Each structure stands twice: as structure tokens, then as C-alpha cells.
């Protein structure tokens, strides 16, 4: 069964790559419109999953067709981030910081919590395991109060995110970059699947990284990491 699953996944990835390649080829002779920009963003985003890398040079050539005004637009900056990503960080690296906002619009930075452990939770309201992990994240915040700051970084658009916070009455550090796409901290921390967790040590270096959730898994991870 596992082999079949792996084969299905490989086939799925191959099909995605073929669609991406055909799309890029068609775009070479099409006018640069809003739809064209959306298509380039979609194809460029797949690069972070290893899809379409064989025709990345063609995507870069398409980007060269864009005007300076188009490049400076939110969509243009997103395309640039997908085509020219900053290197992802991992265990042993210094944390990457960025502008994050709470539901009231106040600006925050991860640096606020240097000196404590920081548990980053990259999540979305539409992700079942992400939602299932919320009670355990709240339990960790209580159990390790004063030692661990739990920071939930939503990947959702502002309206969806704020509605979910209100509906579920979420507490703690519920933050969002409030940018379209997953081009900033998510890319820097190598987020490809959610939930994606990053544990940062009190000295600001990344201590552990893992994905997915099963009941009790977060508490077990914290017990392994915090002595």
C-alpha cells in the first residue's frame, strides 16, 4: 500500500509538472495581463515543491517580459519571491524574523521572545490536523508558561483568519503576516506541509523542526526538547 501511495504521489507530481510546462509554453506568446500574472505566480509557486524546476529558466524569461510597474505590484513581488527565494533555514540556524500582526492590527516580531523557547505553528483554518492541534498548543502554553512562547502564524487571508479567531475564541499569540501567498516566513522556514512546527531555543537558534500532528505528539516533542 505504501509503495502504491508513493507511486501515486510521484505520478501526481509528474502530471503537475506537465501542466506547469504547457502553461509556461503558452504564456510565451500570450499578452501580459492580470490572468497571465496569476498563471505565472501559480507556476512559480510550484517550484518550492520541486515541480517545474526543469523549465524555471523559461519562467525567469517570462518575468523579464513584465514592466517595472508590474514587478513592483503585490503580485509581481510574490512572483519574484517564488522565482528567487531566500534560502530556507533549518536546525542550528539563527531564527528568521519578520513583520507579524495580531487580530487588532498591532505589529509584532519574534524577537520579543528571545530568551524563551519559541514554538512556531504554521497553520490554516482549512487544515484538519492544524485545527486538531489547537487544544494541545494551548496546553503547552499553560504547562510551560514563562518558558515557552507559542506563536501561531496563520497562512489564511485576513477575513478568514479573523473570523476563525472570533468563532473559536482563540487566545495567545495569534499572528499573521497579512500578505497574499506564502512567500515570506513560510518560505524561509521551509513550510511545504501544514501544520509545520519550528522550535527556537532561548538563544535564537532553531532547535527542532517537524510537520504533522497526532494527539499527544506536541507534548511529546516538547518533553524531548526542553529539559
Which CATH number covers residue 143? 3.40.30.10
Average pLDDT, the chain: 91
pLDDT, average across residues 84-103: 93
pLDDT at 61: 96
pLDDT at 45: 86
pLDDT, average across residues 209-226: 96
Domain-embedded: residue 139 = yes
Q: Are 72 and 111 found together in one domain?
A: no
Q: Are 69 and 129 found together in one domain?
A: no
pLDDT at 183: 53
Under the banding of pLDDT at 50, 70 and 90, the label for residue 9 is low
Last residue of some domain: 57, 83, 109? 83
pLDDT tens figures, 109-166: 999 999 999 999 999 999 999 999 999 999 999 999 999 999 999 989 999 999 999 9
Whether pLDDT at 6 is above 80? no
Chain position carrying cell 515543491:
49
How many domains, the chain?
2
Instruction: Please tell me the distance from the alpha carbon of residue 21 to that of residue 17, in angstroms, as a whole number.
Output: 6
Q: Are 109 and 205 found together in one domain?
A: yes
Number of Cβ within 10 Å of residue 132's Cβ equals 13
Whether pLDDT at 70 is above 80? yes
Beta sheet of 206-211, edge-to-edge order: 107-108, 100-101, 173-176, 148-154, 117-123, 196-200, 206-211
Whether pLDDT at 182 is above 70? no
Distances (CA, A) of 84 to 43, 56, 57, 183, 185: 13, 10, 12, 10, 14
pLDDT at 180: 65
Domain-embedded: residue 76 = yes
pLDDT at 2: 44
Domain-embedded: residue 94 = no
pLDDT at 214: 94
Q: Are 190 and 124 found together in one domain?
A: yes
Whether pLDDT at 11 is above 80? no
Q: Are 151 and 45 found together in one domain?
A: no
Last residue of some domain: 58, 83, 108? 83
pLDDT, average across residues 174-197: 85
Q: Are 76 and 110 found together in one domain?
A: no
pLDDT at 184: 80
Domain-embedded: residue 209 = yes
What HEC string does the chain produce? CHHHHHHHHHHHHHHHHHHHHHHHHHHCCCCCCHHHHHHHHHHHHHHHHCCCHHHHHHHHHHHHCCCHHHHHCHHHHHHHHHHCCCCCCCCCCECCCCCEECCCCCEECHHHHECEEEEEEEECCCCHHHHHHHHHHHHHHHHCCCCEEEEEEECCCHHHHHHHHHHHCCCCEEEECCCCCCCCHHHHCCCCCCCEEEEECCCCEEEEEEECCCCCHHHHHHHHHCC
Number of Cβ within 10 Å of residue 189's Cβ equals 21
Report the predicted TM-score, pTM, of the whole model to 2 decimal places. Answer: 0.79
Instruction: Please tell me the distance from the alpha carbon of residue 116 to that of residue 148, in angstroms, as a whole number.
Output: 6
Domain region containing 49: 2-83
pLDDT tens figures, 97-113: 999 999 999 999 999 99
Amino acid at each position: 500500500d505504501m509503495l502504491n501511495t508513493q507511486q501515486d504521489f510521484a505520478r501526481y507530481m509528474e502530471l503537475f509538472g506537465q501542466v506547469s510546462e504547457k502553461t509556461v509554453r503558452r504564456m510565451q506568446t500570450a499578452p501580459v495581463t492580470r490572468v497571465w500574472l496569476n498563471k505565472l505566480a501559480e507556476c512559480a509557486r510550484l517550484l518550492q515543491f520541486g515541480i517545474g524546476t526543469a523549465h524555471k529558466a523559461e519562467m525567469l524569461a517570462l518575468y523579464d517580459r513584465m514592466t517595472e510597474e508590474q514587478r513592483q505590484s503585490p503580485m509581481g513581488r510574490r512572483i519574484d519571491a517564488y522565482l528567487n527565494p531566500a534560502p530556507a533555514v533549518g536546525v542550528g540556524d539563527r531564527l528568521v524574523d519578520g513583520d507579524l500582526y495580531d487580530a487588532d492590527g498591532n505589529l509584532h516580531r519574534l524577537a520579543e521572545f528571545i530568551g524563551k523557547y519559541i514554538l512556531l505553528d504554521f497553520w490554516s483554518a482549512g487544515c484538519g490536523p492544524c485545527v486538531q492541534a489547537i487544544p494541545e498548543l494551548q496546553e503547552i502554553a499553560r504547562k510551560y508558561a514563562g518558558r515557552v512562547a507559542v506563536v501561531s502564524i496563520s497562512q489564511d487571508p485576513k477575513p478568514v483568519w479573523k473570523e476563525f479567531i472570533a468563532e473559536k475564541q482563540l487566545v495567545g499569540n495569534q499572528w499573521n503576516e497579512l500578505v497574499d501567498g506564502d512567500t515570506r516566513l513560510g518560505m524561509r522556514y521551509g513550510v511545504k506541509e501544514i501544520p509545520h512546527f519550528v522550535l527556537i531555543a532561548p538563544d535564537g537558534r532553531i532547535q527542532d523542526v517537524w510537520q504533522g500532528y497526532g494527539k499527544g505528539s506536541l507534548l511529546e516533542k516538547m518533553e524531548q526538547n526542553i529539559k
